[in-house]
Amino acid sequence: MTALRDGSDPLRNAQPNILLVMADQLAAPFLSMHGGPAITPNIDRLAAQGTTFTSAYSNSPLCAPARFLMMSGQLNSKIGAYDNASEFPSSVPTFAHHLRSAGYQTSLVGKMHFVGPDQLHGYEERLTTDIYPADFGWTPNWDDPDGRFDWWFHNMDSVVNAGIADVSNQLDYDDEVGHRAVRKLRDLARTADARPWMLTASFTHPHDPYVARQEFWDLYDHDAIPMPTVGSIADDDDDPHSRRLRHVIGADATEPSDDQVRTARHAYLANVSYVDRHLGDLLDVLDRHDMADDTVVIFTADHGDMLGERGLWYKMSYFDHACRIPMIVRTPSTAARATNPTHVSLLDIAPTLLDIGGIETPDVMDGASMMPLLDGRPDAERAVIGEYLGEGAVAPIFMIRRERWKFVWSEPDGAQLFDLETDPQETTNLVGDPEFTDVIADFTAEVLSRWDPTTIDQDVRASQQARATVDRALRQGRFESWDFEPRSDAANEYMRNHLDLNDVESGRRA
């Protein structure tokens, strides 16, 4: 049972509304609020009214596992949800379950990449389907590290074919998400339901393919688009995981030209501006319908994008461009802009939402509420922990971000230690430098005390084999989809003869 901090009836608690807005593959270093080139007046507007966390991270830089851990507040190895084809167990409570138990109406619009038959995970309603499949077809295979799943792995087509288009699969999806999210906020403004609400609006941009509409492309001077700060690194000088990722995404077979790189980065920035427009539409609805003073707004992303840095693209890495994300929290009581350098992460979202709703954080959650940090005062004791268990790995990869350090460890790959104060581009691995022997030893000991790499490795491989078996079977004979199909109640929409026209017209105004 969800426990309220004050022990009262959840329906009698004063609980603000919550709007959680997510982008997909939005790297914090590209945002103007972090000194980047993206043109984002609405993200900047939200940042000016709330608290911006300058050191926010994805704990697992891949779409589905990042969302699973965000919703559950638990590391992926604890809940058995490892990659983009791992089932998110229905028995794992999410922030939507907790908020709903505490009296909230909970709604999801857009992408959440749920895998498995449960496509709600605590949300009372879901207004769109997902953009990605809900079955086990995208299961990786660590026992075949050189193999490629060409029908679903990333490849370099998104880079070499980048440019302008009026419509694409991704744009179709986000156009619908934006429309449905705006309409849902308007419905909430005129509902007779007295419960507080929690709405998640989750967009798939600026995720590749790097194709943008002319309107947003034209916001940028093509020749001024910045090129990667750190260029391609020779295989002999790079870490084993990065070498594997180049194979996973096909970058070892296709090297884009400088013009193709610039075009892809141009389209990516244009799509950041496209997401920014959708965020602005949602903020405008809150303002027009006098809901802003009763609503907490959180803006974040599931992970970042290397976008050509180090010759890498997309995510799946613990370099900052792939795993550092935006995190803005605006509350009704926020008076002005605050920035906080405290290390926070997606694991902190669930405890934060529960804190907002007046709910005690369960001990099983691995994150902590960000609410005590909204005044801007840093907490130097907080750290971010992460684990990557998806394609491109051959064994678990663990990360700890504490103070000035980022430490990455994997048994077959060895360790990496970066000092982000003196080396923000992460070009110098300090492992092997005698000056940092004690720091490396302490981090290594912490990894081995936090995790059991051998057991996690065995669990992941067993899950991969089991899911591959299930997937092969379910592709034979009659196919039954797990993908979510939004319901439509057309018989009770707009005007029907069993309704009173006067009631319909008056009741739909706001």
**How many angstroms separate the CA atoms of 51 and 337, rounded?**
6
Query: Quick one: tokens of 174?
Result: 């986000």
Helix, strand or coil for residue 465? helix
Is 323 catalytic? The answer is no
Rg (CA), the chain: 23
**Which of these is catalytic: 63, 121, 207, 266?**
63
422 to each of 121, 285, 429, how far by Cα in Å?
A: 42, 43, 12
**Roughly how many angstroms between the first and final C-alpha of the chain, as a whole number?**
36
**Which of these is catalytic: 97, 98, 113, 205?**
113
Question: Which candidate, 266, 252, 290, 241, places its Cα nearest to that of 398?
Answer: 241
Contact status, residue 62 vs residue 82, Cβ threshold 8 Å: no
Enter the DSSP assignment of 4.
B
**How many angstroms separate the CA atoms of 298 and 419, rounded?**
29
Is 63 catalytic? The answer is yes
Which residues, including other chains, have CB under 8 Å from residue 52's CB and lie 6 or more apart?
33, 326, 327, 328, 337, 338, 339, 340
Question: Which candidate, 212, 184, 192, places its Cα nearest to that of 125?
Answer: 184
The Cβ of residue 5 has, within 10 Å, a number of other Cβ atoms equal to 13
Q: Which residue has the tokens 């965020």?
A: 279
Phi-psi region of 134 (alpha: psi -120 to 50; beta: other; left: phi over 0): alpha
Which residues, including other chains, have CB under 8 Å from residue 190's CB and lie 6 or more apart?
507, 508, 509, 510
Query: Quick one: tokens of 333?
Result: 């009581």
The backbone torsions φ and ψ at residue 254, rounded to the nearest 5 degrees and listed phi first, read: -135, 115
2 to each of 6, 16, 97, 199, 481, how far by Cα in Å?
A: 12, 17, 8, 19, 32
Q: Which residues are catalytic?
A: 63, 113
